[in-house]
Amino acid sequence: MTLTDFNFIDNKPATPDLTIKSLTIESAPIDDEPGLTLQSDFIDAVLTGNYRFSTIYSDLKYAAELIFPAIKSSLDVQPHRNADTAPINNFTYHIDINECENLCRFFNLPLSVIYPTEMDGH
């Protein structure tokens, strides 16, 4: 799925509008494993392995909170697990984060990424 040239407008004076030129999400095998690819103006990510769309957001949020403690929410987010305590989502990821100060300000995040950075994990 690809979306191009869309704008989010917030009428609050302190919040900047957000323009995204391109956002592509693809779910397709990568090296014979399930894969998920995200490409956008702000972030490029590749996930390979087993994942469920219904639980992947909170597991990625949990991983981000470990890396960026400033975004830790008041909720105690833990990775999703099966009854036998095996992870439901079991994947590796490589994420490139581009300068995204405007995105962080739009979502009122307590951090700002002003230099490109990479994250890898399992």
Handedness of CA 83, 28, 60, 121 (dihedral sign): positive
Confidence check: pLDDT of 1 > 70 = yes
The residue segments making up the domain with residue 63 are 2-121
The number of angstroms, rounded, from the C-alpha of 31 to the middle of its chain's C-alpha atoms is 22
pLDDT tens-digit profile of 40-76?
999 999 999 988 878 777 777 777 777 777 766 644 5
Q: Which one has a higher pLDDT value, 13 or 79?
A: 13
Q: How many domains, the chain? A: 1
pLDDT tens-digit profile of 6-47?
888 878 777 788 888 999 999 999 989 999 999 999 999 999
Query: What pLDDT, on a 0 to 100 scale, did the predictor assign at position 37?
Result: 95
